[in-house]
Amino acid sequence: MAENAHHHPDTLFNTDAPVHTRLRRMLTSSFTAKRMAALRPAIQKVTDEHIDAMLAGPKPADLVQALGLPIPTLMICELLGVPYEDHEFFQHHATVEVSQTSSAEQDRESSVALGEYLARQIHAKTDNPAEDTLSDLAALVKAGELTMGEASLMAVILLIAGHETSANMIALGTLALLEHPEQLALLRETDDPKVVAGAVEELLRYLTIAHTGQCRIALEDIEIGGEVIHGGDGIIVSLPAANWDPEAFPEPDRLDLLRDARQHNAFAFGVHQCLGQQLARVELQVVYGTLYRRVPTLRLATTLEEIDFKEDAMAYGVAALPVTW
């Protein structure tokens, strides 16, 4: 009984082949680079609209609320087929789920609330499918390839991962650039999409939003840096340590938007690489490629010391980023 009490349902995060292969295969068509590229005009439109609203509103503005949260949330809602008007509900429960200070009871309540909500959404798509991921999942449930529990859990993971990480990256990347004005100038003054894309990779390397979420078990003895990790030992993988490895990235503590940072591990490595990485890339390319050009005088409206960093969450970020122009 005790073993069952701690059994976690199978997800992309906690399984290997063949279970992981089966689950991942069912979602790959939703997140192809081609499908993400097709979303670029929609992301550009949403970004411009939110910058317009920010410029028309009061100063200072909180960049997290003005751009960071709404843009990725709108896009993951569009991709999944979730009504955006429910965003306050699921953002609240997503915050509880990723916070390391939530109690087990709070975590369970939010998990159940999100699972039931998404199960209802998937159920509704069974007879009224659309061009979205929840409809894809509904079809798999109908065909008997997935249970409703598996499908709703997949949807929960996609919904949380799809907005939480990009939201943090938009605000934290902007803060890093405001602290490095010469690098910000490079990005603001270019209209070369390749330079913008390269800048996104370097910011992903430099900031590495997912700091300690990678838990693994060694299958065999491994020697790293003179230390032996024994087969069967649990490991918490530090992605920032890999991205700040001087052997891979000379002067790793220097933000250099012109360096080739494509080999970074911000999206993890191997078969467990982030499924939504192409969506994140397109979102960040559009936002970073637009915001600083449209608001060239953007600056912090507070001091670095007064900013509240999210040290207690799986995805690193800032609680708010007051900016003015």
pLDDT at residue number 97: 81
| Among the ranges given (60-69, 225-234, 304-313), the one the predictor scored with the smallest mean pLDDT | 304-313
The SS3 assignment for 318 reads strand
pLDDT at residue number 137: 94
pLDDT band at 131 (very low <50, low <70, confident <90, very high): confident
Catalytic residue among 166, 199, 266, 313: 166
> Taking CA 251 as the corner, what is the angle to CA 247 and CA 253, rounded to the nearest 5 degrees?
115
Nearest Cα to Cα of residue 204 among 246, 235, 244, 237: 244
Q: What is the mean pLDDT of residues 272-288?
A: 90
Determine whether 88 is an active site residue: no
Q: How many Cα atoms sit within 13 Å of 174 on the Cβ side?
A: 33
What phi and psi, each to the nearest 5 degrees, are found at residue 70? -65, -35
DSSP label of 257 = T
DSSP 26-57: HHHGGG-HHHHHHTHHHHHHHHHHHHHHHHHS
Question: Taking a C-beta distance cutoff of 8 angstroms, is the pair 25, 289 a contact?
Answer: no
Higher pLDDT, 266 or 19: 266
For helices 193-207 and 148-178, what crossing angle results, to 10°? 100
Determine whether 49 is an active site residue: no
pLDDT at residue number 7: 52
| Nearby residues of 293 by Cβ (< 8 Å), 6 or more positions away | 188
Catalytic residue among 150, 201, 202, 283: 283
Task: Give the position of tokens 């709070």.
Answer: 106
Q: Please state, in angstroms and rounded to a whole number, the distance separating the CA atoms of residues 216 and 14.
A: 9
pLDDT band at 213 (very low <50, low <70, confident <90, very high): low
Determine whether 77 is an active site residue: no
What average pLDDT is seen over the chain? Answer: 89
Q: Please state, in angstroms and rounded to a whole number, the distance separating the CA atoms of residues 111 and 106.
A: 8
Query: Is residue 143 scored above 70 in pLDDT?
Result: yes
pLDDT at residue number 307: 96
Determine whether 164 is an active site residue: yes
Q: What is the mean pLDDT of residues 63-83?
A: 92
pLDDT at residue number 6: 45
Catalytic residue among 161, 210, 242, 315: 161
pLDDT at residue number 21: 81
For residue 194, the tally of other CB atoms under 10 A from its CB is 8
Which domains are assigned to the chain? Answer: 17-195+269-324 (1.10.630.10)
Q: What is the mean pLDDT of residues 256-260?
A: 97
Query: Is residue 224 scored above 90 in pLDDT?
Result: no
Q: How many Cα atoms sit within 13 Å of 28 on the Cβ side?
A: 9
User: Could you tell me which residues are beta bridge partners of residue 127?
Assistant: none
Considering the chain, what percentage of its residues have pLDDT values greater than 70?
A: 97
Determine whether 161 is an active site residue: yes
Peptide bond into 60 cis (omega under 30): yes
Nearest Cα to Cα of residue 88 among 142, 37, 163, 24: 163
Query: Is residue 4 scored above 60 in pLDDT?
Result: no
The SS3 assignment for 5 reads helix
Query: Is residue 2 scored above 50 in pLDDT?
Result: no
Catalytic residue among 97, 150, 164, 202: 164
Catalytic residue among 139, 248, 274, 320: 274
Which range has the top average pLDDT, 135-144, 162-171, 236-245?
A: 135-144
